[in-house]
Structure 1
Amino acid sequence: MKHKICMASDFFYPNMGGVEEHIFNLSQCLLMKGYKVVVLTHSYKDRVGVRYMTNGLKVYYLPIKPFYNQCVLPLMVCSLPLIRYILIREQITIIHGHSAFSTLAHETMMIGRLLGIQTVFTDHSLFGFADTSAIITNKFLEMSLADCNHCICVSHIGKENTVLRARVNHQRVSVIPNAVDTTAFVPKLDLRTSDKITVVVLSRLVYRKGVDLLAQVIADVCQENPKVQFLIGGDGPKRDLLEDVRTNLNITSQVTLLGSLEHSQVCNVLNRGHIFLNTSLTEAYCMAIVEAASCGLKIVSTRVGGVPEVLPPELIILTEPNVPSILKGLKHAIYQVNNNIGMSPTKCHKIVQSLYNWMNVAKRTEIVYNRISLENPKPIGKQLRSYLSTGVYPFLLVVSFMHILLKILDWWIPHSDIDIAKDYKMKKSLPYKNHLSGYGNE
């Protein structure tokens, strides 16, 4: 049973992050298995239209500009004609949305359900229950997943969180962890400096990634130990805070801000470091620490969310999400580097290689696809009833209006008038490692 899958998310290359890597790697493995995969995302600056990436992965960069934090404005109706056209043109049978933050993913899934297409959603984040932002996001997620066929979480703690905050039946939620391409993320010890200890940080520079904690840690460590330098990759609203700390304390020589990175640059940046630091306040999985461990770095991370599930204890130093605890863990890692204590980078790489494999992730995702493909599409009346449990009754009017608009479009631009896209035939003779070595190449 060969499905035609649409990966929908606001987060994709050239943006850098765990969601982007997950979508790309999963898509590559599904292509290798013979499935058709297209990616739907919004425009990134001048990147608009259709682009082809490694192994013929087709990416639709819709002419919609992001509104806030790389997400589009939830207009619902305005993007409906274009998304409908693409789904019909590509003959999509399954829509796979990614990230609770992604407005485009939720919109595409909703439009797909009204078209009778099965939907899957992968939640990559953890949320609280008390603050205003979490309450709004959780209610929006509950509305979106009320009629979703199946959900995937990247950790067991993530599954518990999603079931509670989105009120999803636990039987409709599976746990499929992330993985890492260990053929690309290999130790390169020649890139490391011998006279300095380099601490690498790669993340979005936003509040939930603990950038406020990071700023204080940088200030304390750099003033205490001039031998330590920080290499920070990523961008976001908290970058100004790091710039201020670096300038005010006159530690510009010890702190380098690389800004947003292409994914092809990540491996080399990691290999320039001895220690990888993660200061997140909430994290469902954290792909970055797996990639860093695969490159042989010592890992220091806050003990939040699904992080304790990701790596065995011998590969990671866990701390509490506060400055004193992070400083203690980081100083312990610096001591290990100075005295050459701990596991060698090569052995770290072999352990990660044995634990994580993208083909295994794709195989488990394939089981979910096959299961939901056997379900019959719900009629519009049953779909509307599924939203009653959310208690947001005006939302029924929005869904009803979208259904009517789709019927008008079926009359105005019928399916028979839409050209069907040709499928890309991938060469099956290429070995596995070559398929995932060309991140982001067009």
Structure 2
Amino acid sequence: MDAKMTSSNGGGPAHRRHRIAMVCDFFYPRLGGVENHIWSLSHNLLRLGHKVIVITHAYNCPDAEALGDDGVLTRRKSKRTGVRYLPGGLKVYYCPFLPMTDEDCLPTFTITFPLLRWIFIREGIEIVHSHQATSTLANEAITYAAELGLASVYTDHSLFGFNDIASIILNRVLKVTMSTVGAVICVSHTCRDNFILRARIQPSIVHVIPNAVDSTKFTPKPCKRDKSRVTVVVVSRLVYRKGVDLLVGIIPPICRTFPNVDFLIGGDGSKKLALEEMVERERLQDRVDFLGFVPHRSVRDVLVRGHIFLNCSLTESFCIAILEAASAGLIVVSTNVGGVPEVLPPDMIHLADPNVDSLVRGLSTVISEKIESIDPFEFHRRVKYMYSWDRVARETMIIYDELLNEPRLSFLQRLTRYKTVGGIAGYVVCILAITLHFVVSLVEWWQPRDLIDVVPDICYEPKNDRKTRFVDS
């Protein structure tokens, strides 16, 4: 294949063209920050002329209406499995792996290897880019990449602790899988510090590339907003980590103090019942509106109905929702946790401690003093200037370029790194690595590379030239 991309105007060589596999358990039809990141980064890398595929597990889709043989419209369950092409030319492998809890795959150690290897060879993958520490598939893919001599990159999206049993186990697994990774990307400086401590990894290979927002999809309301009644918008998963218990305590005093303030709550989750019970108890049915689950394509339409965006999260490594709200012209009130202080300048966000009293004071200050001075279109222009997925893709591409110039680790070098995991644990991991090495040799014999058909690349020309051409492998 062509090792270089040429510029669309026929000039000299541009960046090297890469073949990248994004691997994560969490992807469409599930919606969230990690899924949005993978989707947006992949599409912008495609626009820059790279080949990108996504590997995830099969998903059960929501009930769909279907016309039966008898002509009766019925609802049936469907499963998203196999190979799908999503809008923009993104190819997704929905693999038949068994999900465990929260759409996370069951850890298998080697069972997923034959299929992932087949995909990597078939697509000519050079770089395996895994996402999210809690994704079993992502961790396994990094280990497989080292065995297959492929470059590996990992992006960390969340903050985790050090003293609860779940975090201790996760951090030990992360230490093992990150022993052979080539480069790490964190979405904030706080996330980077947290990751280095958790994985005990060499800081020089850990980079910071903030998240971004597609500002063209989050534009302010064209007409001037009525400020006689102020609407506070909350769009979030209604779970403990998102601070819903704080929200339960915030709404009643704000409604008592400000008769002209309403709340608009979008999202669903296990804590929704607590909110509904509070509204019933305080008789605030006419002041609090529940929208339920909001598809991502409809989030902007919900945001522009309000004036203030409230984020009560107890932990955040970045929080794309804050960017989306600011791009739509809302001023933000948020808990001062994790990487949130890095996202917006002080005049666009009011930070409060993660407790009810501090958040009530902060929200009251914004309602009383700042709401009149907000210029939604100025907020939008500033967010558009500060954040873009094109910049994220280009900075990620630089890491790819540097990584491919580095030599891959040999088997003995990998064993040396695995031994650093710990005393007894290091030797256990080495035994597992030797077992995997044997399994790789067995699969290479059972499924020879020259019997795997390699698909031709579909090359999307960089930037605005959307012509498509096939490149022989």
Contact 2:50 2:459 in 1 (8 A): no
Matched, 1:390 2:421: yes
| Residue 123 of structure 2, aligned match among 70, 86, 90 | 90
Distance 2:231 2:50 in 1: 42
User: How far is the alpha carbon of 1:184 from its aligned partner?
Assistant: 1.4
CA 1:39 to 1:199, structure 2 compared with 1: closer, same or farther past 3 Å?
same
Contact 1:191 1:271 in 2 (8 A): no
Distance 1:429 1:164 in 2: 38
Change (3 A) 1:25 1:127: same
Q: Structure 2 stretches of 5 or more lacking a match?
A: 1-15, 61-78, 467-473
Equivalent pair of 1:176/1:364 in contact (CA under 8 Å): yes
Do the aligned partners of residues 112 and 274 (structure 1) sit closer, same or farther apart at CA in structure 2, a change above 3 Å counting?
A: same
Q: CA deviation at 1:303?
A: 0.7
Compared CA separation, residues 137 and 246, structure 1 to 2 (3 A): farther
**1:3 maps to 2:18:** yes
Q: Distance in 2 between matches of 1:229 and 1:424?
A: 50
Q: How does 1:259-338 map to 2 (within 5 A)?
A: 259-336=292-369
1:81 is matched with 114
Which residue identity lines up with residue 376 of structure 2 in the other structure?
Answer: P
User: Which has the higher Rg, Structure 1 or Structure 2?
Assistant: 2
Residue in 1 aligned with 2:30? 15
C-alpha separation in 2, matches of 1:194 and 1:351: 22
3-state SS of 2:80 partner: coil
Instruction: Tell which deviates more after alignment, 423-432 or 8-17.
Output: 423-432
| Cα drift, residue 194 of structure 1 | 6.0
- The answer for the alignment partner of 1:440 in structure 2 is none
Q: Give the counterpart letter for 1:176 in structure 2.
A: I
* Cα-to-partner distance string for 1:79-118 (whole Å, 9 max, x where unaligned): 2222222111111100111112222211111112211111
In the aligned structure 1, how far is the partner of 2:226 from the partner of 2:30? 28
Quote the Cα distance in structure 1 between the aligned partners of 2:114 and 2:277: 45
Instruction: Specify the code of the residue in structure 2 equivalent to 1:422.
Output: P
Q: 1:408 to 1:429 in 2, by over 3 A?
A: same
Larger RCO (CA under 8 A, 6+ residues apart): 1
1:295 and 1:349 in contact (8 A); partners too: yes
Mapped to 1, the partners of 2:275 and 2:106 lie a distance apart of 28
Q: What do residues 20-61 of structure 1 show as CA deviations (whole Å, max 9, x unaligned)?
A: 221111111111111000111222312222221232011122
**Does the alignment pair 1:235 with 2:268?**
yes
In percent, how many aligned pairs have the same letter? Answer: 46
* Alpha-carbon offset, residue 309 of structure 1: 1.0
Partner secondary structure for residue 440 of structure 2: helix
The answer for unaligned runs of 5 or more in structure 1 is 433-442
2:66 corresponds in structure 1 to none
- Taking structure 1 as the reference length, what is the TM-score of the superposition? 0.90
Contact 2:48 2:462 in 1 (8 A): no
- In the TM superposition, what is the alpha-carbon distance from 1:193 to its structure 2 partner? 6.7
d(CA) in 2 for partners of 1:52 and 1:157?
A: 35
Q: Give 2:201's match in structure 1, choosing from 168, 172, 189.
A: 168
Indicate conservation of the 8 Å contact 2:142/2:180, yes or no: no
Over the aligned positions, Cα root-mean-square deviation in angstroms equals 2.3
Do the aligned partners of 1:17 and 1:203 also contact (CA within 8 Å) in 2? no
Match of 1:421 among 449, 455, 461: 455
State the one-letter code of the partner of 1:146. S
* Matched residue count: 430
- Cα distance in 2 for residues equivalent to 1:388 and 1:407: 22
Q: What residue in structure 1 maps to residue 470 of structure 2?
A: none
Contact 1:196–1:228 (8 Å) recurs in 2? yes
| Residue 24 of structure 1: aligned partner | 39
Distance 1:58 1:35 in 2: 13
Q: Displacement, 1:253?
A: 4.2
Asked whether the equivalents of residues 96 and 119 of structure 1 are also in contact (C-alpha less than 8 Å), the reply is yes
Which stretch shifts more, 300-309 or 130-139?
130-139
Q: Pick one of 433, 438, 445 that aligns with 1:404.
A: 438
Which structure: greater strand fraction?
2
Alignment of 1:12-411 (within 5 A): 12-45=27-60, 46-190=79-223, 196-222=229-255, 225=258, 227-336=260-369, 340-391=371-422, 392-393=425-426, 394-411=428-445
Q: Quick one: structure 1 residues 242 and 415, their matched pair in 2 at CA, closer, same or farther if it must change by over 3 Å? A: farther
Q: In structure 2, give the amino acid aligned to 1:117.
A: L
Residue type of the partner of 1:374? N
